[in-house]
Amino acid sequence: MKNRLSFKRDSERPKTRAHSINENVNLADLLQIIRSNFRLIAIVTLAIMIISAVVTLSTPDRFSSRASLLPSGQTDRMASIKLLAGLSSKSTNENSSELFPLILRSNSVRDSVLAANYSLTVEGSKTSYRLSDYLGSDNQDLLRERLSAITAIDTDTKTGLIEIAVETTAPELSQAVTTEYLVQLNRYNVQERQTEAGRTAEYLERELAEKRTELSRAEDSLSLFQSYNRNWRTSSDPGLLTELAALKRDVEIKAEVFAFLSRELESARLETQKDTPVIRVLDHPSLPTIKSGPRRILTIFMSGITAFLMLVMLFIGRSLLQRNRTASLSGVNRPTTGESGRPATKSLAEPVVD
């Protein structure tokens, strides 16, 4: 007689009641769970909305002042000279608006904005105000972070338009801080332009002195040659005429270079004294009359929806967990039966011998 071992596959084993419950949960069961706990869900949701309303109502209104800058970036006429001097390798103006957002976010500009005094009207009287009083700190690093939090600087990638917005609880303060940003931006660019022009002027002065010496030597060489060859006007000697033409050409070239550098030096000197604005303002800082925040109705509504959904998920999860736990306990207490309904006497993994 052959021994034949037979085992039942996992797929043929009877499923537990917990698995059956998970598969039989439908929309009606979920609605029943929500219905049975709806009163508690509604009370908690309403309480959270009331708390949210109290918090938002106690938050002061905020006002945002905005300004817009047009893109700029003219070609620098002295770019070739700066390139030779090692001063700049770019062909565009150093005042290009592409750098404006970086300049506005720099520590030097933010520190100047923080250090400025702002004149505000409080209860009918003019009051000098500083941002450190409004931001509530004396720590410089913390003041920079808080200033950045109330400031938005955006650039339109298509048009290059730059928008600056400052949001505070006082309309006049928002406008004053936005205006100060523009003042500091223009001051930085004017000083940078003057400094760059000053470096260019120094370079041109050195070059001009060198070219003046070279021109003087060329003129002396021509004069000496003419003095040694007094018949140069009537001479037909090819060698003499060729050398004379070369000396004259050298003098002319050096004279043209000297004249060009002289004109550029005068332009650079004028540029160092130039203090005209370099930024083009499309929209000047506005005095806001309508609050920009907080959005109280939206905040209350969203807090209510969030609380409702979280509570529904909590009750559904708890109900399913309780059902699975009850099913697991009932499965453990129930005696194991075979296929004929009688109690099983052998394990599923125990071999059957024919």
Burial degree of 189 (CB within 10 A; 0-12, 13-18, 19+): buried
User: CA 135, CA 132: separation in Å to the nearest integer?
Assistant: 5
Task: Tell me the pairing of strands 162-168 and 63-70.
Answer: antiparallel
Strands (E), 232-330: 280-283
- Name 250's Cβ contacts closer than 8 Å, sequence gap at least 6: 218, 221, 222
Q: One-letter amino acid identity for 160?
A: G
Is the Cβ–Cβ distance between 9 and 324 less than 8 Å? no
- CB count within 10 Å of CB 334 equals 9
What pLDDT, on the 0 to 100 scale, is given for residue 95?
52
Express each pLDDT in 141-178 by its tens digit. Answer: 999 999 999 999 999 888 889 999 999 988 889 999 99
Q: What is the pTM of this model?
A: 0.56
User: CA 287, CA 289: separation in Å to the nearest integer?
Assistant: 6
For tokens 């979920």, the residue is: 30
- Burial string for 83-92 (b: 16+ CB within 10 Å, else e) reads eebebbeeee
- Name 49's Cβ contacts closer than 8 Å, sequence gap at least 6: 300, 303, 304, 307
- CB count within 10 Å of CB 9 equals 7
Domain positions in the chain: 30-59+296-315, 63-283
| 41, 68, 151, 275, 333 from 187: Cα distances, Å | 59, 17, 19, 9, 85
Q: Is 350 helix (H, G, I), strand (E, B) or coil?
A: coil
* Maximum Cα–Cα distance across the chain: 143
User: What is residue 286's DSSP assignment?
Assistant: P
Express each pLDDT in 34-73 by its tens digit. Answer: 888 888 888 999 999 899 888 888 878 889 999 999 887 5
User: CA 160, CA 182: separation in Å to the nearest integer?
Assistant: 17
User: CA 171, CA 292: separation in Å to the nearest integer?
Assistant: 10
Q: What are phi and psi of 164, to 5 degrees?
A: -115, 130
> Which residue in 339, 286, 59, 29 sits closest to 164, CA to CA?
286
- Name 234's Cβ contacts closer than 8 Å, sequence gap at least 6: none
- pLDDT (tens digit, 0 to 9) for every residue of the chain, 354 residues total? 444 444 444 444 444 444 444 555 577 777 888 888 888 888 999 999 899 888 888 878 889 999 999 887 554 445 455 555 555 444 445 556 788 899 999 999 999 999 998 887 766 677 788 888 888 888 999 999 999 999 999 998 888 899 999 999 888 899 999 999 999 998 888 887 777 778 888 888 888 899 999 999 988 888 888 888 887 777 778 888 888 889 889 999 999 999 998 998 888 787 776 655 567 888 999 899 888 877 888 888 899 899 899 988 888 888 878 877 877 776 655 555 544 445 544 433 344 444
| 91, 94, 198, 262, 265 from 87: Cα distances, Å | 12, 11, 11, 19, 15
> Which residue in 179, 202, 183 sits closest to 191, CA to CA?
183
H or E element at residue 115:
helix 107-115
What is the CA 321 to chain-centroid distance, rounded? 46
For tokens 């009850």, the residue is: 326
User: CA 40, CA 32: separation in Å to the nearest integer?
Assistant: 14
Q: What are phi and psi of 27, to 5 degrees?
A: -65, -35
63-283 has which CATH code? 3.30.1890
User: What is residue 344's DSSP assignment?
Assistant: P
